[in-house]
Structure 1
Amino acid sequence: MIQHRSNPSLLRMEGVSKRFGATCALDNVDFELQKGEVHALLGENGAGKSTLVKILSGAVRPDSGTIFLEGYPFSPSSPLDSRKHGISMIYQELNLAPHLTVEENIMLGREMHRGGFIRQKEMRNKVRKALELIRHTEISPNLQVKKLSVGARQVVEIARALVEEAKILVMDEPTSSLSQEDSEILFQIIKRLKTQGVSIIYISHFLEEVQKVADRHTVLRDGKKIHSGNTSEVSLEDLIQMMVGRKIVDMFPKIPHETGDVVLCLDGLKGKRMQAEVDL
Structure 2
Amino acid sequence: MTEDILRAENVGKRFGPVTALRDVTLRLGPGEVLGLIGDNGAGKSTLIKTLCGFHRPDSGRILIDGEEVHLRSVGHARSLGIDTVYQDLALVDQLSVYHNMFLNREVVRWPFLRNRAMRRLARQHLEEIGVNIPDVTVEVARLSGGQRQAIAVARSVYSARRILLLDEPLAAMGAKEGAQILNLIADLKARGDIAMILIVHNYAQVLDVCDRVNLLQHGTITFDKPTAETSLDELTDLVVAEYRRGRLNPGVR
The TM-score normalised by the length of structure 1 is 0.81
Match of 1:17 among 6, 12, 15: 12
Q: In the alignment, residue 32 of structure 1 is paired with which amino acid? A: R
Q: Is 1:140 the counterpart of 2:131 in the alignment?
A: no
Q: Deviations over 1:218-237 (max 9, x none)?
A: 11111111111101211222
Residue ranges of structure 1 left out of the alignment (5+ in a row): 249-280
Q: In the alignment, residue 231 of structure 2 is paired with which amino acid? A: S
SS of the aligned residue for 1:123 comes to helix
RMSD of aligned Cα (Å): 1.8
Match of 1:99 among 91, 94, 99: 94
Q: In the alignment, residue 218 of structure 1 is paired with which amino acid? A: N
For the Cα contact (< 8 Å) 2:80–2:160, is it kept in 1? Answer: no
Q: Distance in 2 between matches of 1:103 and 1:111?
A: 10
Q: Distance in 1 between matches of 2:189 and 2:169?
A: 16
For the Cα contact (< 8 Å) 1:90–1:157, is it kept in 2? Answer: yes
* Residue matched to 1:198: 194
Match of 2:124 among 126, 129, 133: 129
Higher helix proportion: 2
Q: Deviations over 1:238-277 (max 9, x none)?
A: 21333354598xxxxxxxxxxxxxxxxxxxxxxxxxxxxx
Residue ranges of structure 2 left out of the alignment (5+ in a row): 245-253
* Residue matched to 2:205: 209
Q: Deviations over 1:139-164 (max 9, x none)?
A: 42111101101111011101211231
For the Cα contact (< 8 Å) 2:83–2:160, is it kept in 1? Answer: no
The correspondence of residues 44-63 of structure 1 with structure 2, limited to 5 A, is 44-63=39-58
Larger radius of gyration: 1
Q: Is 1:87 the counterpart of 2:97 in the alignment?
A: no
Q: Which of 96-105 and 228-237 deviates more?
A: 228-237
Gap change, CA 1:139 and 1:160, over 3 Å in 2? farther
Q: Is 1:27 the counterpart of 2:22 in the alignment?
A: yes
Q: Give the drift of 1:84.
A: 2.2
Q: Distance in 1 between matches of 2:58 and 2:229?
A: 34
Q: Which has the higher contact order (CA 8 A, sep 6+)?
A: 2
Q: Distance in 2 between matches of 1:27 and 1:115?
A: 47
Q: Is 1:171 the counterpart of 2:163 in the alignment?
A: no
Match of 1:72 among 61, 67, 91: 67
Match of 2:179 among 177, 184, 191: 184
Q: In the alignment, residue 200 of structure 1 is paired with which amino acid? A: M
Q: Distance in 1 between matches of 2:239 and 2:64?
A: 27
Q: In the alignment, residue 238 of structure 2 is paired with which amino acid? A: M
Q: Is 1:117 the counterpart of 2:151 in the alignment?
A: no
For the Cα contact (< 8 Å) 1:33–1:199, is it kept in 2? Answer: yes
Q: Distance in 2 between matches of 1:165 and 1:246?
A: 36
Q: Distance in 2 between matches of 1:168 and 1:244?
A: 31
